[in-house]
Amino acid sequence: MASPPTLPISSPQAISGGGQSDPPIATPAFRAFINRLSESIRNGLSQRRPWSELVDRSSLSRPESLTEAASRVRKNFTYFKVNYLTLLAAVLAFSLISNPVSLLVLLCLLASWIFLYLFRPSDSPLVILGRTFTDRETLGGLIVLTVVVVFLTSVGSVLISALMVGFAIVCAHGAFRVPDDLFLDEQEPANVGLLSFLGGAASSAAPVVAARV
């Protein structure tokens, strides 16, 4: 007696497209950059000083000379470095939020650098309107675009104004805050805090940029 014919069984992977999964949206280098950036910011914020020390009115007094004011600014910045950088970032963010057009333009510029050059796969050429652009052409176009956006639009004035206001607030507080009650650690590394992510970001993006140049 003949056995019944065997029916072909198709696996779910074959049905979904030959076992090939969809490519990830973000490249591994971009994911590593984001993870390192967020981790560095969290670590930096965890090292901030209590805000009650920053706004302690009993520790405010007028400096007697410019030399004393400069010394106070240096010591206070060493102690309140993360707090000052957070304050500066808050002023910058408030200025950009108050100017939504500048914020949108700046975000578009940042996205252009990230997705068109820094973390674009090297084996995937940039094609716009049927024309293929090399990495050098892409880099040159992004540099020109950055110069135009920063110096020929309102974005540059918003950033410069916000930074000047932030630095003025930091310097004024540092000059009037008496640092005698602060426990300063002169051996503290210079790259700890919120700016420590720059080293991680550079190490994540350096191999990609070096491969393109």
Mean pLDDT by 10-residue block, N- to C-terminus, for the chain (213 residues)? Answer: 53 44 51 74 76 85 90 90 91 92 91 82 74 82 90 88 93 88 54 49 51 54
Q: pTM value? A: 0.65
Q: Per residue in 93-145, pLDDT tens?
A: 999 999 999 999 999 998 888 888 777 776 677 777 777 778 888 888 899 99
Instruction: Enumerate the β-bridge partners of residue 177.
Output: 60
Q: What is the pLDDT of residue 5?
A: 55
Q: What is the pLDDT of residue 16?
A: 44
Q: Which residues does 141 contact at the CB level (< 8 Å), separation at least 6?
A: 133
DSSP per-residue string spanning the chain: -PPPPPPP---HHHHTTTTPPPPPSS-HHHHHHHHHHHHHHHHHHHTPPPHHHHT-GGGB---SSHHHHHHHHHHHHHHSHHHHHHHHHHHHHHHHHH-HHHHHHHHHHHHHHIIIIITS-TTS-EEETTEEE-HHHHHHHHHHHHHHHHHHSHHHHHHHHHHHHHHHHHHHHHHHB-GGG----TTS-TT-SGGGHHHHHHHHHHHHHHHH-
HSE-CB at 63 with a 13 A cutoff on CA atoms is 19
